[in-house]
A and B are shown apart, each in its own frame.
Chain A
Amino acid sequence: MSEKNPFPNEKNSGHVWDDNLRELLNEPPTWWRIGFHLSWILVIVYTLVYPSWPMLTTHYKGMTGWTSIGEYREDMKDLKKIRAKYEDKLPNMSAAAILADEELSNYSVSAAKVLFGDNCSACHGAGGSGNIDYPILADDDWLYGGTIENIVQTISYGRKGFMTAQASTLSETEIDELATAIYSGNPTSTSLFTEKACFACHGMDAKGMHAMGSANLTDGIWRFAAKDQLASIKYTIKHGINDTSDPKTRNAEMPVFGSKLDENDIKKLAVYVHKLGGGQ
């Protein structure tokens, strides 16, 4: 091929296609060579400046000592500075005072969203929307009271409900009658309510007592909500709540968070929960 090169005075490889297409042996362009040399120089500079080469037991740390975790910590410090304006005020204020302050309560709500997600929403659902067998926090039905102080106490010390299992003291028909009355929202309509001493916990008007955490039986909001609500009520009457003598008893226990979260986080959470819509 090369002996028949039709362009003998040209720096080409001697490969010619279609009569005049040929491969030239020109140097690469200057800008390309400069770019190439700059690239490998940059590689060396980079590996010297930043942590790079692996060694036997450790790795080369780089001239500047930069690490990504270090940068992250620096950024977190900056974030803390921004938050300090609010965070510094929180320890000296009660949850009620924070709730009353528009700016601080807004800050608490945005801070508590994450706390709620980490600690509360597994049981109470995102946004306090509730779960099967766990209370809704967005409504205004509070077994232990819905004031900000009540909420702080509930989070800090937890709660454990109790109701005696009545399977041995009530007959099937009595349970039916009582459950039907409760389901209709008017438990006092049956004499069983007073005869069987339900009132002792649930109150004479059957509206529950916050001090004991007993349920309001008249409002149509069910702590243990179910598709067949009547059957669910019967079950609760029969087996009670946290009654150790009955293996089929219902469980209702709010764990203690006072040991897990610090006081400020609990205040923030209380403000958040109070603002979900049912705070009193």
Chain B
Amino acid sequence: MATAKKNQQDQESIDKLYEESIHWHVNTGDETIHAKRVPGIFRNLKHVGIMTWVIFFFGPYLRWNGRQAITFDIPNRQFHFFDITILPQDVWMLSLVLLFLAILLAVVTSVAGRVFCGYFCFQTVWTDMFTWIEEKLEGNPGQRRKLEKKPFLQRKLHIKALKHSIWILMGMLNGITFTLWFGDAFDIWIQFLTLKATPIAWTAVATFAIFTYLFAGFMREQVCLWLCPYARIQGVMLDTSTILPTYDFHRGEPRGHLKKGSSNNDQGDCVSCNQCLAVCPTGIDIRDGQQEGCITCGLCIDACNLVMDKIDKPRGLIRYMSLDELEGQELRPLYKRPRPIIYALIMSIALAGIIYGLTHLGSLELRVIHERQPLFVTLSSGEIQNRYELKILNKTEKRMYIEVQASGIDGMKIHGNEKIFSAKPGRLTSHTLFIKVAKNNLIKHRQTVNIVVTDRDNKEHSASYDSMFFSP
């Protein structure tokens, strides 16, 4: 009998465990989250994050030396970045830039959690702007919820219509701005306004407008929870030293309602006001611990601090802290954590590569292809002739006039460099070169020849290539 009773007890404790685990509730989209806006440090930080997107909107209008400063010129396969022009041949730098950014995301996440999600991500930022407009037009969250419950015809239709038109306009501005990066911003604006833009441009604008409207207007936190791959990836970059918005349950529990005039010493600092829930843009309860839905924006910290000030308790019941700190350990300093150190190392290598690339972007590039069919021919004079195909890339914006020189074998004669030929800007020019060598000057079957091309008008524009001279 006693064992049966014990088994029952065990079963009960397990049931209780599961009860706790299903307590966590994720909003699957059945209710709209109307987050409250409260002032505070993290709200201000969020505004700073939002400001970085100003670059996206105003970047295309920047001028530099009479043209757009930053252009992704797809038709001409060029990328202009102020004075630097990057051609497809230099895209290896792009992979370094991507590596740098990926590792930056990793290192930042491992140090300070998903701050990218919380402050910079366009989904967060656009949602914040959309809900700001909503609040201006429809009132605070309580009023919005009431409005939602009204029957359709009684809804304030004109307010709704205004809100949705502003949202759609913002979406279109987003799309148009995106297209501006791929050509001259003013030209593209004129094309849009005169309805003469290309179908690709219209498709881009429509796609951006529709998805901005849907994602920021309706799906909001659903994008973070169900669509975004980075939410999953960033989750695994955290460890016990990562600082995140955390509820200090040692201090807060047991929570209970505050009663006027009585100071209950058994109670923790949390007064169950649910303000942290009310402000959360993803609708989670931070007091349930760190969870998937948290984008670490810190707005709950602002809300809780306001309440703590009101009830004369110290701030920081919810604060940025690591799991280690919560458990009473010291926060490991950065230099004792291998992860940030290794990440920083990779980042500096990538950065060094990018800097090397940018400073060594030659204005002229040369590749020499040795003709293989035939490798060499014997001429009537008894000399051996090799044929070379020169591929010359002019990376400047001006036409170049190219001189060719070659050296490496005694008594070699160059044929095909008598005339100076032109190389179009941004284009690959091919040129054929013949080298003739008398048999008695040849020591080996294969000898190195060095081919140099130089711009007639600017000797600094020069490129060199080592090729081979083949003989019987």
Cβ-neighbour of A136 out of B374, B387, B421, B434 (below 8 A): B374
Q: A97-114 vs B: 1/0 string, CB under 8 Å?
A: 000001000100000000
Scoring B residues 415 to 445 as 1 if CB is less than 8 Å from chain A, else 0, what string do you get?
Answer: 0000001000000001010100000000000
Which of chain A's residues has its CB closest to B380's CB?
A219
Cα–Cα, bound, A63→B379 (Å): 64
* Contact call A278/B377, Cβ cutoff below 8 A: yes
Write the nearest CB–CB distance from A139 to chain B, whole angstroms.
4
Q: Which has the most chain B C-beta neighbours within 10 Å: A127, A138, A277? A: A277
Residue count of chain B within 8 Å CB distance of chain A = 16
**With A140-B379, A216-B380, A275-B432 given, is the CB distance from A127 to B374 under 8 Å?**
yes
Contact A277:B377 (CB < 8 A) given known A102-B421, A138-B387: yes
The interface residues of chain A lying within 8 Å CB-to-CB of B374 are 125, 127, 129-130, 136, 138
Shortest Cβ distance from residue B215 to the other chain A in the assembled complex, whole angstroms: 16
CB distance from B430 to the nearest CB of A (A): 8
Contact A136 B380 (CB under 8 A): no
Q: With A138-B387, A275-B432 as given contacts, are A220 and B378 in contact (CB-CB < 8 Å)?
A: yes
The answer for the CA separation of A277 and B384 in the assembled complex, in Å, is 12
Give the chain A neighbours of B379 by CB distance below 8 A: 139-141, 219, 221, 278
Answer yes or no: A126 CB below 8 A from chain B CBs: yes
Output the nearest chain A residue to B415 by Cβ-Cβ distance: A277
- Chain B residue contacts of A139, Cβ below 8 A: 377-380, 385
Taking a contact as CB atoms under 8 Å apart, the answer to whether A126 and B378 are in contact is no
Residues of A108-126 at the interface with B, using a CB-CB cut-off of 8 Å, are 125-126
Chain A residues whose C-beta falls within 8 Å of the C-beta of B421 in the assembled complex? 102
In the complex, B139 has a CB within 8 A of chain A: no
Q: Is the CB of B382 within 8 A of A277?
A: no
Q: Determine the distance from Cα of A278 to Cα of B385 in the docked complex, in whole angstroms.
A: 9
Q: In the complex, which residues of chain A have a beta carbon less than 8 angstroms from the beta carbon of B378?
A: 139, 220-221
A139 (CB) vs chain B CBs: closest residue: B377
**B377 — which chain A residues lie within 8 A by C-beta?**
136, 138-139, 277-278
Q: Output the least CB separation between B427 and chain A (Å).
A: 12
Number of interface residues of A (CB under 8 A): 21
B373 and A125 form a contact (CB under 8 A):
yes
Interface residues of B in 387-438 (CB under 8 A from A): 387, 421, 430, 432, 434
Indicate whether B371 reaches chain A with its CB closer than 8 angstroms: yes
Q: State whether A219 touches B382 (Cβ < 8 A).
A: yes
CB distance from A222 to the nearest CB of B (A): 10
Taken together as a complex, chains A and B put the C-alpha atoms of A138 and B382 apart, in Å, by 14
Measured CA separation A275–B371 after assembly (Å): 13
Closest Cβ of chain B: how far from A279's Cβ, in Å?
Answer: 11
B430 proximity list for chain A (CB < 8 A): 106
**For residue B373, which residue of chain A has the nearest CB?**
A127
Complex: A220 Cα to B377 Cα, angstroms: 12
B382 touches A220 (CB 8 A): yes
Report the nearest B residue to A106, measured CB to CB: B430
Shortest B256–chain A CB gap in Å is 35
Q: Which residues of B contact A102 (CB under 8 A)?
A: 421
B381 is an interface residue with CB less than 8 A from chain A: yes
Q: How far is the CB of B422 from chain A (nearest CB, A)?
A: 8
Residues of B within 8 A of A140 (CB): 379-380, 385
> Considering the chains assembled together, what is the distance between the CA atoms of A129 and B382 in angstroms?
17
Cβ–Cβ contact B387 & A277, under 8 A: yes
Q: Chain A 253-280 against B: per-residue CB contact (8 Å), 1 yes, 0 no?
A: 0000000000000000000000111100
Q: Shortest Cβ distance from B394 into chain A, in angstroms?
A: 16
User: Bound state CA distance, A139 and B382, in angstroms?
Assistant: 11
Docked pose: A219 CA to B377 CA in angstroms: 13
**In whole angstroms, how far apart are the Cα atoms of A219 and B380 in the complex?**
5
- The answer to whether B434 and A277 have CB atoms under 8 Å apart is yes
* CB nearest neighbor in A for B439: A220
Chain B proximity of A120: nearest CB distance (Å): 13
Residues of B within 8 A of A220 (CB): 378, 382
Q: Note all chain A residues with C-beta closer than 8 A to B373.
A: 125-129
Chain A positions 207 through 235: 1 when the CB is less than 8 Å from some CB of chain B, otherwise 0: 00000000010011100000000000000
- Least Cβ distance of B369 to chain A in Å? 12
Q: What per-residue 1/0 map shows which CB atoms of B70-93 lie under 8 Å from chain A?
A: 000000000000000000000000
Q: Could you tell me the distance in whole angstroms from the C-beta of B11 to the nearest C-beta in chain A?
A: 12
Specify the chain B residue showing the minimal Cβ separation from A126. Answer: B373
20 contacts between A and B (CB under 8 A): A106-B430, A125-B373, A126-B373, A127-B371, A128-B373, A130-B374, A138-B371, A138-B377, A139-B377, A139-B379, A139-B380, A140-B379, A140-B380, A140-B385, A141-B379, A216-B380, A221-B378, A221-B380, A276-B387, A277-B434
4 other contacts beyond A128-B373, A277-B385, with CB at 8 A cut-off?
A125-B373, A125-B374, A138-B377, A141-B380
B interface list, Cβ under 8 A from A: 371-374, 377-382, 385, 387, 421, 430, 432, 434
5 cross-chain pairs, A with B, having the tightest CB-CB distances, nearest first: A127-B373, A129-B374, A139-B377, A219-B380, A129-B373
